[in-house]
C-alpha cells in the first residue's frame, strides 16, 4: 500500500486520516448531558425537598421517601405494580419462547416475513393496541359478547378497569421485545451441540430440555426482566385499561405531578421506579456475566 517517496509512512498516515473521529463524540454527549442527565439530577434533588400546598420548599427532607414506604396507599401501588410486572414478565417469556424457537429454527423461505410480522405490531403503537384490547375486553365488548351469545356466561366478565386487563394488555404490548430477546439467545446456541446430543441418542424433547433450554437461560431471564422493567414503568396501558382504583407507579407519578402538583413526591416515586429498573438491569448484567463464565 505505498504510493510515494515515503512508503513506510503511507499506511499509518492513511489510518490516521481515516480515524480521528473522537471529537465527533462531543455533540451527542453534550446533548445528552444537557437534555437528559442534568434533568435527572434535578429530579433526584427535587425528591429531597419539602412540599406544601403546591409549592416546593427549599428544605432538605426525607418525608417523600418515608411517605412512599410507610403510607399504605403508596405501598399498595408499588406492590401492585411489582406484582403485575412480574406476572407480565412471566407471561411474555412463556409466550415468546415458542415463537422465538420457531423463528430461529425454521428454514421456510417466508422466515423474513414471519420476523417482520413479529416486529409489525410495534409500528401500531401502544395506544392503538391498548384501545383494541379495551374494545375486546370491556363488558359490552367483543369477548363478553361472544361468550354470552354462545351461552358460556350469563353476566359479562370483569376484564377491564382492573389489573387483569392491565396484565393482558401489557403482555401483548411487550411480546415483541420478549421474542427478540429470546431469539438473540437462541441464535447463539451452537447447533452442533444439539446435533451431538441427538447423535448420542437423545430424543428431540430430551435434547431440547437438556441442551437447548439451559443454554438459552440467559435469554429467558433477559426476556423476563426486560418485560418486567418496561411493564413497571408503563403508563398508557394501565391508564387506559385500568380504573379509578387501579393505580400503578407510572399513573401515580402522573397524578402526583400534574393533579396534586406535588413535585417532590412525584420525583421521589420516579426515583424509586428508576432504582427498580436500574437494579433489574444490574442484576441481569451480573447473571449474564456469571453465565458466560460457567460456559
Partner 1 sequence: MRWQRLIRRDLPRAAFMCVISVIYGFMFLPIAVVLVMSLSPTKLLEFPPRVLSIAWYLAALTPDWIGPARVSFTLALGAALLSTLLGVAGAFAVVRHQFPGRQAVLAALQSPLAVPSIVAGVAILQFFTLAGAKALLGFPALLLAHTVEAIPFIVRTVSISLQGVDRNLELAAMNLGARRWQTLRHVTFPLIKPGIFAGAAFAFIISFNNVNISLFLVRPGEITLPIRIMNFMEYGVEPILAAVNILSLVAVLVVVVIAERFGGFTRFLYGR
Instruction: Return all residues near 180 (Cβ < 8 A) that are at least 6 apart.
Output: 100, 118
- Cα 1 to chain centroid distance, Å, stands at 49
- Cα-Cα-Cα-Cα dihedral sign, residues 170, 173, 232, 279: positive
The count of chain residues that interact with partner 1, using the rule CB under 8 A, is: 91
Smallest separation (angstroms) from partner 1 to the CB of 75: 20
- Cα-Cα-Cα-Cα dihedral sign, residues 243, 247, 249, 251: positive
Segment contacting partner 1 (CB under 8 A): 78-86, 194-202, 215-223, 231-239? 231-239
Q: What span, in angstroms and rounded, lies between the C-alpha atoms of 155 and 139? A: 9
95, 191, 207 from 198: Cα distances, Å: 26, 11, 7
Cell of residue 37, nine digits: 442527565
The residue among 217 and 278 lying less far from partner 1, judged by its C-beta, is 278
Contact track, partner 1, 128-167, x by CB under 8 A? xxxxxxxxx-x-xxx--xx---------------------
The residue among 125 and 191 lying less far from partner 1, judged by its C-beta, is 125
Q: What span, in angstroms and rounded, lies between the C-alpha atoms of 185 and 191? A: 12
Smallest separation (angstroms) from partner 1 to the CB of 217: 20
SS3 54: coil
Cell of residue 61, nine digits: 427532607
The residue among 270 and 294 lying less far from partner 1, judged by its C-beta, is 270
The residue among 182 and 215 lying less far from partner 1, judged by its C-beta, is 182
The residue among 214 and 285 lying less far from partner 1, judged by its C-beta, is 285
Smallest separation (angstroms) from partner 1 to the CB of 110: 12
**Whether the Cβ atoms of residue 129 and residue 172 lie closer than 8 Å to each other:** yes
CB atoms within 10 A of CB 127: 11
Q: Binding to partner 1 (CB under 8 A): which residues in 249-288?
A: 250, 253-254, 257-258, 263, 266-267, 270-271, 273-274, 277-278, 281
| Closest by CA position to 67, among listed 234, 244, 262 | 262
The phi, psi pair for 100, rounded to 5°, reads -65, -40
Smallest separation (angstroms) from partner 1 to the CB of 154: 20
The phi, psi pair for 89, rounded to 5°, reads -55, -45
Q: Binding to partner 1 (CB under 8 A): which residues in 55-84?
A: none
Smallest separation (angstroms) from partner 1 to the CB of 274: 5
Q: Binding to partner 1 (CB under 8 A): which residues in 178-217?
A: 180, 183-184
The residue among 18 and 200 lying less far from partner 1, judged by its C-beta, is 18
Residue 126 interacting with partner 1 (CB under 8 A): yes
Q: Binding to partner 1 (CB under 8 A): which residues in 81-120?
A: 95, 98-99, 102-103, 112, 115-119
Cα maximum dimension of the chain = 93
Residue 221 interacting with partner 1 (CB under 8 A): no
Q: Binding to partner 1 (CB under 8 A): which residues in 11-50?
A: 11, 14-15, 17-25, 27-29, 31-32, 35-40, 42-43, 46
Q: What span, in angstroms and rounded, lies between the C-alpha atoms of 146 and 142? A: 6
The residue among 5 and 294 lying less far from partner 1, judged by its C-beta, is 5
Selected binder of partner 1 within 172, 185, 228, 242 (CB under 8 A): 172
Amino acid at each position: 500500500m505505498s504510493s510515494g517517496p515515503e512508503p513506510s509512512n503511507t499506511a499509518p498516515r492513511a489510518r490516521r486520516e481515516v480515524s480521528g473521529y473522537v471529537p465527533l463524540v462531543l455533540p451527542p454527549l453534550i446533548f445528552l448531558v444537557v437534555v437528559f442527565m442534568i434533568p435527572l439530577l434535578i429530579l433526584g434533588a427535587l425528591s429531597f425537598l419539602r412540599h406544601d400546598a403546591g409549592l416546593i420548599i427549599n428544605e432538605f427532607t426525607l418525608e417523600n421517601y418515608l411517605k412512599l414506604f410507610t403510607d399504605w396507599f403508596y405501598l399498595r401501588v408499588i406492590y401492585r405494580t411489582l406484582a403485575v410486572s412480574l406476572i407480565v414478565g412471566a407471561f411474555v417469556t412463556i409466550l415468546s419462547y415458542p415463537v422465538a424457537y420457531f423463528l430461529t429454527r425454521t428454514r421456510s423461505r417466508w422466515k423474513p416475513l414471519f420476523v417482520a410480522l413479529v416486529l409489525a405490531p410495534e409500528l401500531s403503537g401502544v395506544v392503538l393496541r391498548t384501545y383494541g384490547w379495551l374494545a375486546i375486553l370491556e363488558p359490552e365488548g367483543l369477548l363478553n359478547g361472544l361468550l354470552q351469545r354462545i351461552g358460556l356466561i350469563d353476566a359479562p366478565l370483569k376484564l377491564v378497569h382492573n389489573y387483569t386487563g392491565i396484565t393482558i394488555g401489557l403482555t401483548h404490548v411487550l411480546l415483541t421485545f420478549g421474542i427478540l430477546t429470546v431469539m438473540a439467545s437462541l441464535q447463539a446456541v451452537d447447533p452442533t451441540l444439539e446435533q451431538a446430543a441427538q447423535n448420542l441418542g437423545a430424543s428431540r424433547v430430551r435434547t431440547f430440555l437438556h441442551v437447548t433450554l439451559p443454554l438459552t437461560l440467559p435469554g429467558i431471564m433477559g426476556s423476563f426482566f426486560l418485560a418486567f422493567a418496561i411493564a413497571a414503568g408503563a403508563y398508557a396501558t394501565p391508564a387506559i385499561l385500568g380504573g379509578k382504583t387501579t393505580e400503578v407507579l407510572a399513573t401515580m407519578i402522573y397524578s402526583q405531578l400534574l393533579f396534586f402538583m406535588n413535585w417532590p413526591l412525584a420525583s421521589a416515586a420516579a426515583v424509586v421506579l428508576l432504582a427498580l429498573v436500574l437494579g433489574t438491569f444490574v442484576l441481569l448484567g451480573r447473571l449474564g456475566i456469571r453465565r458466560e463464565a460457567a460456559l
